[in-house]
Structure 1
Amino acid sequence: MATVAARILNPPLLAYQRPEAITPGTRGSWNLRDMVFPSGAVIESWAFTSLVDPQYLVNDGPTGTNTFLADLVGMCNKTGLKCDMPALGPWDPRHSIEQRLAAAKDAAQRKFGKECQMVLVLLERKQTSGESPYALVKQAGDSALGIRTQCFAADKAGIGRNARPPKGRLQYCANVAMKINTKMGGVNVKLLDDPQQPKVVPVVGTVPFMVFGADVTHPTSFHPDDPSIAAVTASYDRTLGRFMSRVLRQGHRQEVIGALQEVVQGMLKEFHRRNNGRKPQALIYYRDGVADSQFPAVLEHEYTAFRKACYALEEGYCPPITFVVVQKRHNTRLFPTEGADRSGNCLPGTVVDSEICHPTQFDFFLNSHAGLQGHNKPAHYHVLVDENGFSADALQLFTYWQCYLYCRCTRSVSYVPAAYYAHLAAFRGRLMKREADEGSMVSSGSGSGERGPEVLQRSCGTATPTCACSTPKGSMGHGLLWQLMRSA
């Protein structure tokens, strides 16, 4: 145990269409009640289907399917989306999951006279293993039919003949509405634009910028033919609420993303298209899952890939790049000596950037989320390149504020959303990889690696004592002493 100095960063002001501004304070969370999304999507054609045995379902009553759909549609419209009751697809248990989704898609086409945009799928319960109904729904929607899907569990939604009376359904519907709005291109929350402080985003807030995230998930087996799956995400507007993603298949346990240049080049073109011909003037890249020993190789290849992608887009185009590695697999824990949250953890925004960090390099520990159960693990950020000229305070604040913009919940999350989304996309890519192995179309991409990366097409230890010391108050927030236990 060692006592070190820490700071608490100020939380952001968040903007909705109504109310115009809220502050989450030091809780790291807020309630969506009576709030309207800043940008609500319009759903013109969608459908509902069920994978639950029909004999266990009822149509009406408190636990009825129609009652839940009415509550969900009401919550969607209340929070800013525009939608009608979805078309009901046939629930024939003899049909495969892909056939049920296709039938629901056709039902939406018949009812609304437009191409189906999304299918709601009722599952008995949420399971995410490779052969679970949830995984099969995502495989069919992403790889075979090219349509968005939104699953929800009957036991959580209070649906079924023997289900308990729904408790907390409105909160559950609000959470589902957030996911639907994001998938349909809406924005759930954004940082407040202050006319007296136009640089709401530090350093890069006055110019067009892009935030990238990347992660690689490796197979559990050691068979050389089992590939790793890489995913890259990127923002395409200044709200940091809309992201695009690309998923790639590459060599077995290959950490360096081989086809990064082609992916980044395509994302820059997409940003250019969506922003009236403007190119980003600053790039911030958060790379997840890189060990310290891999820093030189990843930096050499992936930084070069960014530069080549910019040069390929336009000769002389050379925006500044900030390259940050995000690590969660470490044994450092922070314990507050005062001012703990209700779970006994450090308050959201706690940052430590001295004494336990590298003596010459730029790195810091950031506890950006409020604990729900157990003890928090702070994220460890290593800044490998910073051509944008962030100060330590500015980059820490920029990173922390982004953690409030995660689209799936009204909480700050444990690490920056761009890397979080890449992590989710990489695991989704593994489901698509299984479908591709069974015969669906895979498009080859160029790059290095044992097998050559492939773009998967998607339509949408021991305690080590340290000395106890403290430092003066930081420039943001107030200085506090914290107990830190670091294990090697």
Structure 2
Amino acid sequence: MSDSSKEHSKSITGKLPFRPRDEPDDYMPPVRRHWLNKEVLRSANMLPDVLSIAEYDNEGFERDEPAGITLAKKVTINPREYWIKRHDPGVKVRPMDRVSYSTSGKETVVLTNAWPILAFPKKPVYQYEVNLHHNFQDEEDRRALKRAFNCKTRREKLPDAIFDGARTAWSTHYFGELYEVMKFTGGKTRMVGTRQDLHGVDVEVRFICRRKVYLNVINAWLQKKRVLDEYVIDGLNFLDHLLRHGPSQKQTVQKRAFFFNTLKDHPETSKWERDFEFGLHGGKDAYGFGPHGFATCYQGVIQMIRPCVSGLLLNVDTAHAVFWPRANLLWISRRFVEARTVNEYNFLHPTKNQKGERELSQRLLRLDDKLRRLRVTPDNYPSKFNGSYTIKRVVNQNAEEYMIDYKDGATGKVTKMSVDQYYLKRYNYELDEPQAVLVEMDRHGVVFPLECLKVEKLQRWESKLTDVETANMIKFTAKKPSHRLDMIRKCKGLLDHGHDPHLLNYGLHIGKDMIKTKARLLPNPEIQFGNGKHNPGTSGRWDLRNRKFLKANKRELSHWGIGYWSGRPGFTISGKEVEAWLETFLRIYRGHGGQVRNRPGVVMQLKTSSPEDACEDLYKATKTFYGREPQLLIIIIPSLDSWHYTRIKRCADTVYGVPSQVLQSKRVIGNSPQYSSNVSMKINAKLGGVTSRVNPSIPRRGLPPKSAIIGADVTHPSAGVLTPSLVGMCISNDINGVSYMGNGEGNGDRVEIIKEVSMRIILKPLILEWANTLGGGKYVPEKIYYFRDGVSESEYVEILNKEVPSLRRLIGECQAIINKDPDDTVWRGKILVVIANKRHHLRVWPNPKDLKAADKNGNPVPGTLIDRDVTSPHGYDFLLYSHLALQGTARPVHYKVMMDEIGLKPEELQNMIYEQCYQYIRSTTPVSVHPAIYYAHLITARARHHECFDPSDGPRSGAKVNPMTPRPPRGDPKEPKEFLMTMKGTAENRLPYTMWWI
């Protein structure tokens, strides 16, 4: 390459190519002693990268660097490393190591959906940056990069290279820089050669070596001889892309999942097609009509490499996504415009307005909007073109009307003819539906009849699913354990790792047998009610018949009211039906021990259609009748939709500060005793009662004295919604950790770590309330059990370095207030930090013949604990099944213990978490995750309806969102700002200190 070319490359990338040193094959780079978080790396990459590989002295600094900075200690370091060391605060607290394995319960053996990785490449690999010197648009750029990767120079010089689909490639061969000029079609990404009449543009393709990836550091990290530094991350990242490279070349990729395109092409797999495809209106061939009638759920596979105690493993699981059906475009269009019969096929014919001018009808306008940017390929007629097109628009003309120029290949004469005549003359194909509209492609104005196109491969369905489709998708995806295990094995066979040329070339070998591991069956707890105990065994369920609540409502229910809508279309409920349900409810609630002095003084029919006005009418009528604040408002709505429910809850929570219970008319009319019993649990909890508690199997009762459980969760809005992320937090307010109080607040724009400002707004009044009640006004909690949800693994450490210090400072502030000493702000209590995660793909299958380990569906029984073989080699984690799956294959919760200053043994902590899952206050089954986390999630969902913003800003979500609407801030503001309307607390109800979200 010429010097000018090299200078041009430098101007594009800003860096010189990496130059390797002479090193032995087993060379291992020194450890980076500082912690490289994302923010530091992002900033540090802007500095000059002198060397990616360097020798370190005992202090962890680079030495013998010609262009460096000399410190007082006479140690010369790289400027980039010096900048990182100055700006990175370092990890003050690191996750704790595993103490020991659990010995609680009985041992059993389970099968996991994981395969051992027997060997992985050890020799170094070089990482390349792929550059295109051309201004493509973002979407075109990614397609161009994929084509550029297959250029002739790369195939000759880097024949074993793999590609991530963006700008990074890897190979075992080293070249500082490779260069080639390719031709691309003007403004597009398809290379010249497929059509002779297109002209191309010259595009420079460069492969620039950026670093050397050392794979031998992975073994050192797994053996705890090395910390997780950037070299280890680079190695794991390469293995992940090596595993993905083969399937990504053949299958449809959706994030980390692969969906198979070629099942029909193989006799062995064609019979599996019905297992991998399901029309969401009832089955493969039972598609409905309308805008959603042809959405199709496909099953794919997801695979990932995970570190484990014995090395590395491959985790394989099924994945599901909704796509367009691989069907003819005319068939799809008929269903979209709801053309059910032959007489209705004219819905697809060109239309005119009242003035006689051509104008698309509303049906065709919706079809035009739906088909835009859909990729299609020729169908039915004998075309030699194997590529694809992208639909630009629907043309309001049919094949008999639309005229094109046809050039005779023999004579060269150009004549005008219609589209249907063209297909008859050129392909000897007579159109079945020449009266239907045409579609125009995005290249050169090419038009096609609908029947001559089909959807290309698998394309993601972007529209929201209807309730019917959602229900059918759940039925399709919720497979029984045995069926799911069979599908995972089929997917593993389709991936064919043993014959993948890329894996074989690099030396990545995967075992053939699934991993079996030892699990523990934890003893189930006894449930204590007000009138006795109950042992549910491993059934995972119990009922409340003849049971009394452990603790009834604190104050006798004496001033309350009921409101209901009646006489609306599609909804009829009479006053007699409401009275009948009320009789059943009073009998059931009193039978459970609920304290009710009298029937409600107000049972009124709601006249207004506005939920806010209805809530106001019921509140005022009840308050007027009793002459005091209502204790409870029950409102019966036509259907359990968000429009009624959210507005009623918003009004009751933030305007009047009254506990509210919303019921669905259909369930009230049914008047089932079980329904009334479930409603009784919720109302009892809102009024300060407790359903039950567990008698722990470990030798202590409840929590240790002066202890509190805190649960926290952060949820984010969906894409395109300009509302803040919300944090929900709750704290236990009894000695058994059954009853909680909590609140929610905004957390900025998609910020995962809880801000100190948000934590203070939520927790400060709750901790003070705890201190004034359980602490008797003398002390704050001395032991905190902090359960956190909604955190990705890359942010685990930030919980320790940001949230835990914020929590300590906050409790210290409350301590100073309780002790009336402004200087007493140092809290010296102990914290246990546990992070729960359900977003993983590990599943286990017990022996179905072992009746003590498997339920009737083949799922593990509640209390199944997995802490060996498939768990992390670093830290302290375990998988726990605490619930009974009603359908499908059960998923365990992955608990990661980050800090334990309290000093619990593994069996004490694991049994405590499992047993407290039986204390979920509104259920007669144990829940899948610790109740504190469950409550925090419910708080964020409910708090979403309390958002406080200026209505003049316009809508915050949907198609009419103004792009100029200010987004929520990311950083901590100087002045605390409340994103949510304040919960109203009255002397009568004290709503913020109750379980108002239940």
**Band the TM-score falls in, shorter-chain normalisation:** 0.7 to 0.9
State how 1:195-344 maps to structure 2 within 5 Å. 199-201=700-702, 205-222=703-720, 225-258=722-755, 259=757, 260-275=759-774, 276-277=776-777, 278-312=779-813, 313-314=815-816, 315=824, 316-337=826-847, 338-339=850-851, 340-344=854-858
Question: Partner of 1:309: helix, strand, or coil?
Answer: helix
Alpha-carbon distance between aligned partners in 1 of 2:856 and 2:626, rounded to the nearest angstrom: 49
Task: Kindly provide the CA deviation profile for residues 46-102 of structure 1, in whole angstroms up to 9, marking residues without a partner as x.
Answer: 110013436822233xxx110001111111111111122223354243352222222
Paired AA for residue 17 in structure 1: G
Alpha-carbon distance between aligned partners in 2 of 1:425 and 1:207, rounded to the nearest angstrom: 27
Deviates more, 1:37-46 or 1:422-431: 37-46
Does 1:147 find its partner at 2:690? no
Alpha-carbon distance between aligned partners in 1 of 2:829 and 2:881, rounded to the nearest angstrom: 30
Paired AA for residue 771 in structure 2: H
Alignment check: 8 A CA contact 1:261 1:308 kept: no
User: Structure 1's 208 and 447: CA in aligned 2 closer, same or farther, altered over 3 A?
Assistant: farther
Question: Partner of 2:649: helix, strand, or coil?
Answer: helix
Paired AA for residue 306 in structure 1: L
Does 1:170 find its partner at 2:694? no
User: Structure 1's 255 and 453: CA in aligned 2 closer, same or farther, altered over 3 A?
Assistant: farther
Question: Partner of 2:794: helix, strand, or coil?
Answer: helix
Alignment check: 8 A CA contact 1:47 1:89 kept: yes
Task: Show the counterpart of 1:43.
Answer: 557
Task: Show the counterpart of 2:616.
Answer: 102
User: Structure 1's 453 and 423: CA in aligned 2 closer, same or farther, altered over 3 A?
Assistant: farther
Question: Partner of 1:14: helix, strand, or coil?
Answer: strand
Out of 591, 602, 622, the residue aligned to residue 88 of structure 1 is 602
Alignment check: 8 A CA contact 1:367 1:377 kept: yes
Deviates more, 1:411-420 or 1:34-43: 34-43
User: Structure 1's 436 and 150: CA in aligned 2 closer, same or farther, altered over 3 A?
Assistant: farther
Task: Kindly provide the CA deviation profile for residues 222-280 of structure 1, in whole angstroms up to 9, marking residues without a partner as x.
Answer: 46x42111111110111222211121112110011112245333322111111212432
Out of 508, 521, 524, the residue aligned to residue 11 of structure 1 is 524
Q: CA deviation at 1:198?
A: 6.4
Alignment check: 8 A CA contact 1:191 1:200 kept: no
Deviates more, 1:309-318 or 1:275-284: 309-318
Paired AA for residue 34 in structure 1: N
Does 1:352 find its partner at 2:866? yes
Alpha-carbon distance between aligned partners in 1 of 2:936 and 2:546, rounded to the nearest angstrom: 31
Q: CA deviation at 1:317?
A: 3.1
Alpha-carbon distance between aligned partners in 1 of 2:857 and 2:645, rounded to the nearest angstrom: 32
Out of 9, 29, 33, the residue aligned to residue 541 of structure 2 is 29
Alignment check: 8 A CA contact 2:745 2:762 kept: no
Paired AA for residue 448 in structure 1: D
Alignment check: 8 A CA contact 1:178 1:408 kept: yes
Paired AA for residue 334 in structure 1: V
Q: Which structure has the larger Rg over C-alpha atoms?
A: 2
Task: Show the counterpart of 1:386.
Answer: 900
User: Structure 1's 57 and 226: CA in aligned 2 closer, same or farther, altered over 3 A?
Assistant: closer
User: Structure 1's 329 and 68: CA in aligned 2 closer, same or farther, altered over 3 A?
Assistant: same
Q: CA deviation at 1:286?
A: 0.5
Alpha-carbon distance between aligned partners in 2 of 1:112 and 1:265, rounded to the nearest angstrom: 34
Out of 116, 121, 128, the residue aligned to residue 635 of structure 2 is 121
Deviates more, 1:336-345 or 1:41-50: 336-345
Task: Show the counterpart of 1:182.
Answer: 685
Any stretches of 5+ residues in structure 1 without a counterpart? 160-165, 461-488
Paired AA for residue 88 in structure 1: V
Alpha-carbon distance between aligned partners in 1 of 2:773 and 2:629, rounded to the nearest angstrom: 23
Q: CA deviation at 1:115?
A: 1.4
Q: CA deviation at 1:192?
A: 3.3
Task: Show the counterpart of 1:458.
Answer: 983
Deviates more, 1:262-271 or 1:329-338: 262-271
Paired AA for residue 366 in structure 1: L
Does 1:448 find its partner at 2:972? yes
Scaled by the length of structure 2, the TM-score of the pair is 0.42
Deviates more, 1:251-260 or 1:88-97: 88-97
Task: Kindly provide the CA deviation profile for residues 436-488 of structure 1, in whole angstroms up to 9, marking residues without a partner as x.
Answer: 5549xxxx9x982699652631132xxxxxxxxxxxxxxxxxxxxxxxxxxxx
Task: Show the counterpart of 2:889.
Answer: 375
Q: CA deviation at 1:211?
A: 0.4
Paired AA for residue 273 in structure 1: N
Alignment check: 8 A CA contact 2:713 2:933 kept: yes
Alpha-carbon distance between aligned partners in 2 of 1:458 and 1:187, rounded to the nearest angstrom: 23
Paired AA for residue 781 in structure 2: P
Paired AA for residue 5 in structure 1: K
Deviates more, 1:147-156 or 1:400-409: 147-156
Paired AA for residue 56 in structure 1: T
User: Structure 1's 308 and 111: CA in aligned 2 closer, same or farther, altered over 3 A?
Assistant: same
Alpha-carbon distance between aligned partners in 2 of 1:92 and 1:178, rounded to the nearest angstrom: 26
Task: Show the counterpart of 1:399.
Answer: 913
Alignment check: 8 A CA contact 1:326 1:381 kept: yes
> What is the total number of aligned residue pairs between the two structures?
434
Alignment check: 8 A CA contact 1:15 1:38 kept: yes
Alignment check: 8 A CA contact 1:229 1:247 kept: yes
Task: Kindly provide the CA deviation profile for residues 282-316 of structure 1, in whole angstroms up to 9, marking residues without a partner as x.
Answer: 10010001000111222211010111122222324
Task: Show the counterpart of 1:409.
Answer: 923
Question: Partner of 1:363: helix, strand, or coil?
Answer: strand
Question: Partner of 2:593: helix, strand, or coil?
Answer: coil
Task: Show the counterpart of 1:56.
Answer: 572
User: Structure 1's 44 and 91: CA in aligned 2 closer, same or farther, altered over 3 A?
Assistant: same
Deviates more, 1:268-277 or 1:48-57: 48-57
Alignment check: 8 A CA contact 2:717 2:725 kept: yes
Q: CA deviation at 1:137?
A: 1.2
Any stretches of 5+ residues in structure 2 without a counterpart? 1-513, 817-823, 953-967, 985-990, 992-998
Give every structure 1 segment of 4 or more consecutive aligned residues whose post-TM-superposition deviation is greater than 4 Å: 435-439, 449-453
Paired AA for residue 791 in structure 2: V
Scaled by the length of structure 1, the TM-score of the pair is 0.84
Task: Show the counterpart of 1:70.
Answer: 583
Question: Partner of 2:912: helix, strand, or coil?
Answer: helix
Alignment check: 8 A CA contact 1:89 1:105 kept: no
User: Structure 1's 39 and 438: CA in aligned 2 closer, same or farther, altered over 3 A?
Assistant: farther
Paired AA for residue 983 in structure 2: R
Task: Show the counterpart of 1:430.
Answer: 944
Deviates more, 1:261-270 or 1:364-373: 261-270
Task: Show the counterpart of 1:134.
Answer: 645
Alignment check: 8 A CA contact 2:881 2:893 kept: yes
Alpha-carbon distance between aligned partners in 2 of 1:230 and 1:136, rounded to the nearest angstrom: 20
User: Structure 1's 297 and 52: CA in aligned 2 closer, same or farther, altered over 3 A?
Assistant: farther
Task: Kindly provide the CA deviation profile for residues 157-210 of structure 1, in whole angstroms up to 9, marking residues without a partner as x.
Answer: 3x1xxxxxx37x11110000000000111111112389xx86124xxx331210
Alignment check: 8 A CA contact 1:310 1:318 kept: no
Paired AA for residue 272 in structure 1: A
User: Structure 1's 51 and 438: CA in aligned 2 closer, same or farther, altered over 3 A?
Assistant: farther
User: Structure 1's 191 and 437: CA in aligned 2 closer, same or farther, altered over 3 A?
Assistant: farther
Alpha-carbon distance between aligned partners in 2 of 1:98 and 1:139, rounded to the nearest angstrom: 8
Alignment check: 8 A CA contact 1:250 1:454 kept: no
Alpha-carbon distance between aligned partners in 1 of 2:867 and 2:531, rounded to the nearest angstrom: 37
Paired AA for residue 796 in structure 2: F
Question: Partner of 1:56: helix, strand, or coil?
Answer: coil
